[in-house]
Structures are given as structure tokens and as C-alpha cells.
Structure 1
Amino acid sequence: MEILDNFISEAQSIAWGLPLLILLIGGGLYMLIRIKFLPFRYLGHAIAVLRGKYDNENDKGEITHFQALTTALSATVGMGNIAGVAVAIAIGGPGGVFWMWVSAVIGMSTKFFTASLAVMFRGKDSNGDLQGGPMYFIMEGLGKNWKFLAVIFSVAGLVGALPVFNVNQLTQAVNDLVLKPAGMYTGFNSNLTIGIILGLITAIVILGGLSRISNTASKLVPGMVLLYFGMVVIILAVNFEVLPKYLSLIFTDAFTANFYKGDAFLGGVVGGLLLLGIRRGAFSNEAGIGTAPMAHGAAKTNEPIREGLVAMLGPAIDTLVICTLTALAILVTGVWETSSANGVSLTASAFTQTMPQIGKYLLLLCIAVFSISSLFSYSYYGTKCMSFLIGAKRATYYNYIYILSIILGATTDLNMMINLIDTFFAVMAVPTMTATILLAPKVIREAKRYFATLKKG
């Protein structure tokens, strides 16, 4: 087992190495330059689309633009925003946040292209129903000769969508913030109970299909984002006198890396900090991995560019807003310098310091909703991959494997499984980004046509 653990750990670090980051960041930057930042000029229009101004019941698809975005966001807004940012600051200091922002802006470009393609090249499953996602835009956009890429994506998606990381972190948070302080923690039995409860909640939602998943996500996610935003505003208000100092430090430290404790890269510590920030940003918003296009491909619209614009808002909300809130809470309270904690525990320290009585419980509520809502979305992604590989009628078998893996995630120390899932996430990005870069000229043509009609209108 130790040999296998070391092998998977090595595979994960190779998979998330420089070649993948060049593909994700370089590919996103290439598309951003090719389209000349055009979609960024229409963010106001994207919000109008999101609010339902252009919704048409007769358009093809299953869910609204808003439900598509909240389903995609419920997968990405989670431990990456609360624990991942804390890891970036613990290792890299304030400067890591700047490089997360850079990754988010490039991620917005990637999401625009991948979600536009998910609607532009929808395919039919074995039931004859319209479906979107990387496996379908590879087949419909590039042709049957590229099917091997669609199969690689779908096989990797079956493992990548398993929820063990989220469940493992949520179980840890419940234990550390509630059960242990109350003297109620009983080891394996506590973990098993949490796992069974999460499994039951997830089963009730996911066995109801996409409409129930999207309805639940569209109700849960916005409320929790607002609660989290409100709590951080209180933390910033209490520590407002040091806020300007830390905002400027994010920019200056990005190019000096004075607080960086990790390995050097490209000949220096600034390179190491850049790599850390971009990796954490890519990990947080999942731009280019290929999960979100599966949700956006189900949106009710006949205009691919509209869905691309809505999808762009994902990394903005996920990384530019929520990750920045977490980062500022950790920085202004000073816990990043005074605490040896890392991950979710470091974020909890910042909340507890400012709101001693209720801070950690409100944070736990946000963590719970973010994590549980991501359980719903990932089951949908895994089912779509299964449907592509073995047919829509047998796809629901995946849900039962998925529910069992929730109990597994809660009851085991899952470093090996987490590394395995991270590796498969990286594998998913290769076919997604390859196809997106090859099909980018078609999106650019469609975007020019769509924006031209907007001006005329």
C-alpha cells in the first residue's frame, strides 16, 4: 500500500506540474488574446442574461442560465475557496493572492470558450436527449476521429467526480469545530455517522435528477455566498485600520515573495510563488478541467455565446470575490503569522478571533452548504460521463457507487484517494483544453456575430 501511495502521490505532482499549467494558463491566455478581451466588455450583458432577461421557454435545454451557473458554482465554491486560499497564504504569504487573481482572469476566458462550445456542439445521448460537455463538443466539433479524447475525458471524469476530498474535509471540520470541543467525538463512529447523514442527504437530491440538483443549488448557493460575504465584511470592519496595508502588500509581495516558504521555480522564489498562486486559482475555479461545461451545456438557450458569458462570471464570483474575502479575513486578523494552523483550521482561526461566540459555527454552516451542494453537482458530472461511456439507461448505477464513496470519504484517511482524484482531474483537463484550443476560432466567429447583432438591436 505504501508503494502504491507513493506512486499515486508522485503521479499527482507530475500531473499538476508545469505542462498542465502551461496548457491551462497558456491556453486561456492564448484564447484571451485571440478574442482581444471582447467578452470582458459585455459583463453587464452577462448579468442581464443571468437575471433571465433573455430566457425563452422554447429554447433547447433543461435548466435556466441562473440554474446552470449555480449548479457549476456549487461544484467549484467549496473547500478550494476556504481551505485552498488558507494553504496558499500559509505557504506563500499575501503575494499568492495576486497570482490567484491572474489565474481567475485567464480562467474567465477559458470558461467563456468551454461553455460556449458546450452549447454550440451539443450531442445526443443513447436516449436521443440533447447533452453538453467536453465529450460531446469533442465528438460534434472535432469529429469521430477524436473520440479517443472524449473517452479519456469520460473515464477520468468517473474517478475525478467522486466526492471523497469534500466529504473528508467536511467531516474534519465538523469534528474539529463542533464534536471535539463539545467532548462528543468518538473516532470512527463519529465519522461513520457523518458519512451516513451526508450519504442520505445526497441520495435524496441526486436520485431526483438534474432539475432537483439545479433547483437545490440555485436556492442554497446564493444565500451562503451572501452569509460568507457578510461575515467577512464584519471582520474587515473590525480590522479596517490595517486593511489598506494588506491590500497593498498583496500587490508588492507578489513580485518580492518575502513570505514564501515553498520551493523555488524558474530560478527563484517569485517563480515559486507565481506557480503556487496560479495552481491554487486553477484548483479553486476549475477553469479548463471540463466539469462546468457539463452544467452549462444543459442551459435553455439557442445562443452559445450567452452561456459563455454567464459561465465567465463563475471564476469572478469564485476566485475574485470569495477567495479574496477568505484571504483578506486571514490577513487582517494576523492569524497567518501567529497561527501554525493550515487549511480550513487557519480560516476558522480568523473567524473565531473576530467573532468568538458564533464565528466558527457560521463558518461551519457555510462550509457545510458549500461542500454538500458540491456533492450534488459532482454526482451529475459523473453520471454524464457514465452515460457517454455505457449508455443513458445504465448511467444511474454511478449514483450508487457515488453514495458509497461518501461513506468511504468520511471514514478513512484519504491522502491516497485525494491524490488519485487530483490526478484524474488533471487528466480531464488535457482533452478539454486540447479541443477548446482547436475549436476556439469557431467560438470567436460566433462571438463576433452575436455581439454585432447586439449592437444592431
Structure 2
Amino acid sequence: MDLKGMILLATTQSTFIEKALSSFSNAMWGPALLVLLLGGGFYFLMISKFLPFRYLKHAIDVLRGKYDDPNEEGELNHYETLSGAIAATVGLGNISGVAIAIIMGGPGALFWMWISAIVGSATKFFTCTLSIMYRGKDDEGNVQGGPMYVIMEGLGKKWKPLAVIFSLAGMIGTTPAFQSNQLTQIVYEVVVPQTYTGEVWVPKLIISLVILSIVALVILGGIQRIGNIAGKLVPVMVLVYSISVIYIILSNYEQIIPCFELIFSDAFSGEAVLGGAIGQVIIIGARRAAFSNEAGLGTAPMMHGAAKTSEPVREGLIAMLGPIIDTVIVCTMTALAILITGVWKDGSGNGIEVTALAFESGIPYVGKYILLFAVVTFSMTTLFTMSYYGTKCTGFVFGAKYQKYYNWFYCAIIIIAALIPLDVLINLIDGMYAVMAWPTMISTILLSKTVIEAAKAYFKKYEKEDEKLVDIS
């Protein structure tokens, strides 16, 4: 076969894979999963009587270390677990993922991202409380947390197939494919001169090799190093990004109210999305919110399961702050920057390109460099943390001694994903996240009453301390 024939064959196979992954992702993110995630989260809100929003002050006290005990079982303190979980969620999903949501679903998709975040706070409270309540041990005797151990310890060994399905999907869903692709793209656009006429893949390969080197230094150091670095980088990256977006918003303050009016009107009309289907807007919003804050997917419980605590409810209270920070605050700021500058209207460009245009328009000359810093820090912290999830899934299925091999697979994906079309990666990751959501939500719903009982006991136990806590019974 000559070179022309090989190229034609590769193109045909690539198109087939793209279509197959798109069909798989769309099928997995059908109405049933939407009902499970949003309906399940609403159910958690109702049976807990809006507990996540009634105990924010207590959650912040726990986060500040008021109840920390370094001698308790676990690997990370409360602040480190939240930082690690946020490092994995406050990433490119908040920068390019929001842009993708607006392009695909119109401004109204943001409203459904908010709804997903509100119910997601309750979901994270339940899933992460269970991750401490039903911690298990790997085959080397190390204490572990996460949906696979919740299923095994809480529901019993007969449910193991569900735990294995979660773990196998998690090994793919938590790869660095999306982050590597978008980070490489933004660095390429900012660093590589526009006069460059060579092969695009060459500088992208070099960029991805640099990314790989940095990631490898961190993830091969284990969860303690990941938690320590995340704890230092997360506050800085959120602050810098927030200041920049607030500047763009305030520079166009007269557009703030019209933008919110557009978000609310489009959420129920679907006029800005192709076909004008409201249901499609809801699905896109929920899908991108899940990619952003990961509530109900089962990733965060793996991080929170490593907390140094003997009080499951405390870790649940910490975890519920994640969707608020991630989606309600950071995603909203990104969306407003995109809507206010109007760069979304032509519906072209991939996620990171649209956000870059918003920054260039809102902060001339230096905007793209500020975004580059944000993208680098956001994506790198995500890259550091997601590897931990993949190794835990690998350890559960194949044994703890094989976890180190997953890290090498993880590093290889950084190179491969940098050169693959974005649509392929989004559909692959979205599809695997959907598979992960089913075991996570099913087990959480089945064990939800144990969380309520634990919450009642917890607040009764601490109601006499220096903070007045209202009994939820």
C-alpha cells in the first residue's frame, strides 16, 4: 500500500472511531443518567433537609483545621483532601469546558450547570461521607476509600461486579487526555510564532514532553506530594483567575444584567442551541457540570477517602464545598467573560480558543498570557491529581503492586492525547464518566439512610460544643 492509501485508511479509521465514540457518549448521557444525577442529588437534598447549605459555617471550621487530629487514620488532612479534589475539578473543565457548553447549548446551559452544582453539593456530601464510613483495604493492607470500596464494604461482595465496572471505567475516565490536549493547544497558540510553517505536531510533541516531565516528578512522589503541592497551588490559581475575570466583567459592567437575563431566558427556551431543544440544553449543562465538578461520578470520594478522620460526616461537609467553589463561582466567572465579550456568538473554535478570545478581547495585549498562566496552573494541578484516581482503580482491579504501571500508562497518554482531535477525547472521557456515575449513584442511593443516621448522631454528639448545631431529626 502506498503512502496515499495509508493516509486514506488512517483517515477512514479515525472518522469511524470519532463517530463510534460520539454515539457511545451520547447514548450513555441519555435521559436515564440525567434523572439519576439530578434526581438523585435532589433526593439527597430532600432527605437531608438541605443539610449541605445549613452547615456551611461548621464545614468551614472543619476546613480551617479546628477538628484536625494528625494521629487519626488516613493520609491527608481536611484542607489537603479538599485542595486535592478541587485541583482535579477546578481545571480546564472550568475554562474550556464552560466555553464548550455555551457553544453547544447556548447561554442557558450555564443555568443547568448551576442546578447540577446545587444538587451536586448534596451528592458529594453523601458520596464522600460514605467514602470514610466504608473504607476498605487493598491487597497490601493499606486503607483505601472510594465508590469501589463503598460498594464492597457497604453492599457486600455480591456487588463486586459493579465495583469492577466503576474501576475499569475510572482507569480510562481519569486519564489526562483532555487536560493534555487543551494545555498543549493553548501553549502552542501563545508560544509558537504565527509565522511557523512546519508540521503542527512537532512543537506540540515538544510541549507535551515538557508537560510530561513536570507531571512525572510530582505523581511518582505519591499522594502526600500531590496533596502538598495542590494545597499550595489551588488558592493562588483561583485568586489570579478570579481577579482577571472580575476585571473583564467590571470593564463591561453594563452587560452584566443583560447576560444574566440571557442565561435565564435561554435556559427555558433553548433558542441559542441548534434545534432549540430545551432537553438538549439541560443535558449539555448537566454533562459539562459533571465534567467540571464531578459530583456523582465517584472521583472525589477517592480523594476524600484518604482523609485523616474518624468522623465520616466531617469529610462529607468538606466535600460539599467543592461544587460551590468549582461550578457556582469559577464556571460562572468564565461564562460571564465569554458572554460579555460576545466571542461565543459565531459558534466556532474549540473550548480553549473561545476562552482565549474572551481574555484577549477583555484584557488587550496581556489577556492571553494571563489565561496561559491560569491554564497551566489549572491543568497541571488536575494532571497531578487525576493520576491518583487511576492508580486506586488499578489497585482495586489488578492489585496494589500494579499501581506503578498505571502511572507510566498515564504519562504515555499525555503525549498521545496532545496530538488527537479534541472531539474524540471529549466523547471518550464523557462516556467513561457516565459509566462511573451509575455504580456511584446506585450505591449511594442504596446506602443513603446510613448517611442520615450518621449525620444525626454526629450533630447530636457535637451540639454542646462552642457552636450551636440544629438537630436535623
Which bracket does the TM-score occupy, shorter chain normalised?
over 0.9
- 1:261 corresponds in structure 2 to 273
Which of these residues, 376, 383, 386, is aligned with residue 368 of structure 1?
376
What's the CA shift for 1:348? 1.1
Name the CA distance, whole Å, in 1 between partners of 2:255 and 2:423.
37
Number of residue pairs aligned between Structure 1 and Structure 2:
452
Q: Please tell me whether residue 134 in structure 1 is matched to residue 142 in structure 2.
A: no
Relative to structure 2, which stretch is displaced further, 405-414 or 29-38? 405-414
Residue equivalent to 1:216: 229
> TM-score, structure 1 length as denominator?
0.95
Structure 1 residues 182 and 320: CA distance shift in structure 2, 3 A:
farther
Larger deviation, residues 237-246 vs 70-79:
237-246
Structure 1, residues 411-436: CA drift from partner, whole Å, max 9, x if none? 33364354233222211111111101
Higher alpha-carbon deviation: 431-440 or 406-415 = 406-415
Residues 59-108 of structure 1, C-alpha deviations (whole Å, 9 max, x = no match): 11100111111111111111211112112222333322211111100111
Change (3 A) 1:7 1:270: closer
The answer to whether structure 1 residue 279 and structure 2 residue 287 are counterparts is: yes
2:71 counterpart residue number = 58
Residue 33 of structure 2 corresponds to residue 25 of structure 1: no
CA deviation digits over 1:341-391, x for unaligned, max 9? 441111111111121111111101111111111111111111101111122
Question: For the structure 1 residues 216 and 186, does the alpha-carbon distance in structure 2 shift closer, same or farther, using more than 3 Å as the test?
Answer: farther
Cα distance in 2 for partners of 1:62, 1:7 equals 41
Matched, 1:80 2:99: no
Asked if residue 6 in structure 1 is aligned to residue 19 in structure 2, the reply is: yes
1:290-301 superposed matches below 5 A: 290-301=298-309
Give yes or no for the alignment of 1:330 onto 2:338: yes
Q: Which moved more, 1:415-424 or 1:321-330?
A: 415-424
> Could you tell me whether the CA contact under 8 Å between 1:95 and 1:254 is conserved in 2?
yes
Give the Cα–Cα distance (whole angstroms) in 2 for the partners of residues 238 and 63 of structure 1.
41
* Matched residue SS, 2:345: helix
With the length of structure 2 as denominator, give the TM-score of the two structures.
Answer: 0.92
CA distance in 2, matches of 1:93, 1:11: 23
Contact 2:100/2:351, CA 8 A, preserved across alignment: yes
Helix, strand or coil: the match of 1:411?
coil
Task: Please provide the CA RMSD for this pair.
Answer: 1.7
1:319 aligns with 2:327: yes
Is 1:175–1:185's contact at 8 Å kept on the other side of the alignment? no
Structure 2 vs 1, CA of residues 238 and 69 (structure 1 numbering), >3 Å: closer, same or farther? Answer: same
Judged with a 3 Å threshold, the aligned counterparts in structure 2 of structure 1 residues 208 and 20 are, in CA distance, closer, same or farther, namely same
| Counterpart contact for 1:32–1:109, Cα < 8 Å | yes
Distance 1:366 1:416, change over 3 A: same
Following TM superposition, by how much is the alpha carbon of 1:115 offset from its aligned partner in structure 2, in angstroms? 0.5
Structure 2 distance, partners of 1:4, 1:204, is 33
Structure 1 CA distance, aligned partners of 2:326 and 2:463?
30
* Native 8 Å contact 2:85 2:385 kept in 1: yes
1:402 aligns to 2:410 (yes or no): yes
Q: Does 1:252 align with 2:260?
A: no
Among 103, 107, 112, the residue aligned to 1:90: 103
1:435 is aligned to 2:440: no
Determine the structure 1 residue equivalent to 2:250: 237
How far apart are 1:263 and its partner, in Å?
A: 3.8
Decide whether the 8 Å contact of 1:236 with 1:329 is kept in 2: yes
Partner of residue 357, structure 1: 365
Flag the 1:57–1:194 CA change in 2: closer, same or farther, 3 A: same
Report the CA distance between 1:338 and its aligned residue: 6.1
One-letter identity of the residue aligned with 2:312: P
Report deviation, 1:184.
8.3
Q: Displacement of 1:120 after TM fit? A: 0.6
**How much has 1:52 moved relative to structure 2?**
1.0
Return the offset for 1:182: 6.6
Q: Aligned letter for 1:261? A: V
Asked whether 1:169 is paired with 2:182, we answer: yes
Correspondence 1:109 to 2:107: no
Cα distance change on mapping 1:417 and 1:235 into 2, 3 Å? closer
Aligned to 1:178: 191
Deviation at 1:36, TM superposition (A): 1.3
The residue that corresponds to 1:383 in the other structure is 391
Residues 368 and 182 (structure 1), Cα distance of their counterparts in 2 relative to 1, 3 Å cut: farther
Looking at structure 2, the residues matched to 23 and 391 of structure 1 have their Cα atoms a distance apart, in angstroms, of: 31
Quote the offset at 1:4 in angstroms. Answer: 3.9
Compute the displacement of 1:180 (Å): 4.1
Q: Deviations over 1:11-35 (max 9, x none)?
A: 1110112111111111111111111
Q: Any stretches of 5+ residues in structure 1 without a counterpart?
A: none
Q: Report deviation, 1:336.
A: 2.6
Distance 2:202 2:350 in 1: 25
Aligned-partner residue type, residue 379 of structure 2 = S
Kept after mapping to 1: 8 A contact 2:70/2:77: no
Which moved further from structure 2: 326-335 or 284-293? 326-335
Q: Which amino acid aligns with 1:416?
A: V
Kept after mapping to 2: 8 A contact 1:195/1:411: no
**Identity, % of aligned positions:** 54
